Amino acid sequence: MPELPEVEMFARYFEQHALGQTIQRVRILDARICGTRKLNQLTGRRFERVRRHGKNLFADAGDTWLHIHFGMTGDLSYYTDEPPRFARVIFDFDNGAHLAYEDMRLFGIVDLTPSPEEYVRQHGLGRDPLDRQFDLRAFRALLHKRRGRIKALLLSQEVIAGIGNLYADEALFRSSIHPRRAADRLRNAEVKTLYTNIRRVLQQAVAFKSRGADYPARFLVQHRQEGDRCPRCGGTIRRTIVAGRTTYYCAKHQR
């Protein structure tokens, strides 16, 4: 689940449920999820605010921040009765409720970091595409002298932080750009279109999700099947591998 829009939902969920309460205990059910720092140090503290950068969630706990990366199957669950099946870390609050980080495949990370800025710096993350500073000019600069494939570039978190496999395909689909095109060979108009569509796709995804609505049929994500009909031009949807990931695109209008 977790690309930028999903993590944005997690951030809002965290904000709604887990702020302001004293953490009574932190239970680590599977240490493979945790980094090197000791989450126990959160005991007695409260989460004061939440931030997101790309696919990373941060929660301010005073002089340290909780950092969560959701891997492929990470999720949050605030509950009062039974913990979810794949709970890996559980925060017990003094009101008797709990916040569980669940993760079936264990690719996620729950750790502490000095601050979101420090984390972003240490890991060399690029701009968040919904950040104000991510303007067309910045995007254009990222593509300059990049010989790699445009899809690979969109997936690279050091370039832009937050786009994953699904939304990379979606943005390219809307922009009529073939995922194997060389990044530095896109025409000016295409760069602009792609920039606009990256933001639009992510913003719309957040909007649909926050309403609990399904994505409409015009989204490629509803047609991720070899041989399906393109909702935009009637062409044929193809499945291939680009940048090591399963990629769907319309063979007719993506060039």
Q: In the stretch 213-252, what mask flags binding to DNA with x, by CB under 7 A?
A: ----------------------------xxxxxx------
Q: Is 6 a catalytic residue?
A: no
Chain centroid to CA 55:
3
State the catalytic residue, choosing from 5, 8, 52, 55: 55
- Taking the complex as a whole, the smallest distance from the CB of residue 170 to DNA amounts, in Å, to 10
d(CA 40, CA 26): 6
Q: Is 25 a catalytic residue?
A: no
Residue 121 CB-density burial (10 A; 0-12 exposed, 13-18 middle, 19+ buried): exposed
- Taking the complex as a whole, the smallest distance from the CB of residue 62 to DNA amounts, in Å, to 26
Phi and psi torsions of 119, nearest 5°: -65, -45
Is 84 a residue that touches DNA (CB under 7 A)? Answer: no
d(CA 224, CA 221): 6
d(CA 40, CA 23): 10
Nearer to DNA, 45 or 180 (CB): 180
Is 165 a residue that touches DNA (CB under 7 A)? Answer: yes
Number of residues that bind DNA (CB under 7 A): 31
For the chain, strand residue ranges (E) read: 23-28, 49-53, 56-60, 65-69, 74-79, 87-93, 98-103, 109-113, 237-242, 245-250
- Taking the complex as a whole, the smallest distance from the CB of residue 56 to DNA amounts, in Å, to 8
Residues in the chain: 255
Is 55 a residue that touches DNA (CB under 7 A)? Answer: yes
Residues forming contacts to DNA in the complex (CB under 7 A) are: 1-3, 6, 32, 54-55, 69, 71-72, 104-107, 123, 146-149, 152, 155, 157, 164-166, 241-246
Residues designated catalytic: 2-3, 55, 245
